[in-house]
Amino acid sequence: MSWKIIILVSAFLLSVSGIAAQKLTADEIVKKHIEAIGKSDEIAKINNQTAFGNVSFTILRAGGVGGDGKIVISSEARKFLLGMSFQIPNYRLETIVFDGKDYKISYVMNNARSQLGNYIFRYSEILKEGLLGGVLSTGWALRRLSETGAKIRLDGTKKIKSETGDSETERDAYLINYVPRSGSDTEVRIFIDKENFQHLRTEYRRIISALQGATPDASASRRERREILIEDFSNFKRVNNLNLPQRYKIYLMIEGQSQTLEYEWKAVFSNFYFNQQLDPDSFKVK
């Protein structure tokens, strides 16, 4: 083989590898992510979907205080319901409902919401944009970008831990920043698995500046308030021709002036139902 042919072959191989290594755009990643959920005709068949399972609630900085219960996530188009019930005296029921326009978040005790309910109530765009519940919802934000007009931006990749059965593995994930059309003070970051394009995580971060004190010394001692909500999705399996997570975790951290609060909800879904005759009041907010 002449040197000229060798050079041509080498140049060809380099060009092919270069094309393969080209970076995907945010839109291309989202497209592959939707394809990873299921074929478009299979997704189109789903009018509503409901997931039932067990959930454990833990107050992380209180020696494991919490309890076990049941969880349901149900959705129909943009409508969404997250319900959890526990045998905990001051936290028996958590209900978060969105009817496609308005929302309702239940009180858990004495006209007070839980820390999770209060977070969603204050930052309701999480519900309105179809972010809460991720791929477990038919109203999932990344499936409706053309409707909402939200902006997405690829911000590189990051390694994150993902559960596989009872163990954890480290996954490379694309980091996509999500900004609602109307804007938001909450930073939303969505993590898509770099290999299989499954939805691994959504992070919501909010930083509230410290209030100014009466004196310079008082101001210096005050800290900003950080609020972080994280949804993790793992152990994906094929259900009704869709790839859906069997495990779901919510982590909430509120770091204030005098203390840091941390909460965790870990769910395992055992049953999925599709295109059922849902109770008309399932998504009722009034």
Q: Where are the domains of the chain?
A: 25-272
Q: What is the pLDDT of residue 21?
A: 42
Q: How far is CA 60 from CA 109, 203, 251, in A?
A: 21, 19, 10
CATH topology of domain 25-272: outer membrane lipoprotein receptor (LolB), chain A (2.50.20)
Q: Where are the beta strands (DSSP E) in the chain?
A: 48-59, 65-76, 79-86, 93-98, 103-105, 151-164, 167-179, 187-193, 199-208, 225-239, 242-255, 260-274
Q: What is the pLDDT of residue 63?
A: 75
Q: What is the pLDDT of residue 254?
A: 95
pLDDT tens sequence for the chain (286 residues)? 455 544 444 444 444 444 444 589 999 999 999 999 999 999 999 999 999 999 999 999 877 789 999 999 999 999 999 999 999 999 999 999 999 999 999 999 889 999 999 999 999 999 999 999 999 999 999 999 999 999 999 999 999 988 766 778 899 999 999 999 988 889 999 999 999 999 999 999 998 765 555 555 444 455 678 999 999 999 999 999 999 999 999 999 999 777 899 999 999 999 999 999 999 899 999 8
Q: How many residues does the chain have?
A: 286
23 neighbors 245 (Cβ within 8 angstroms): no
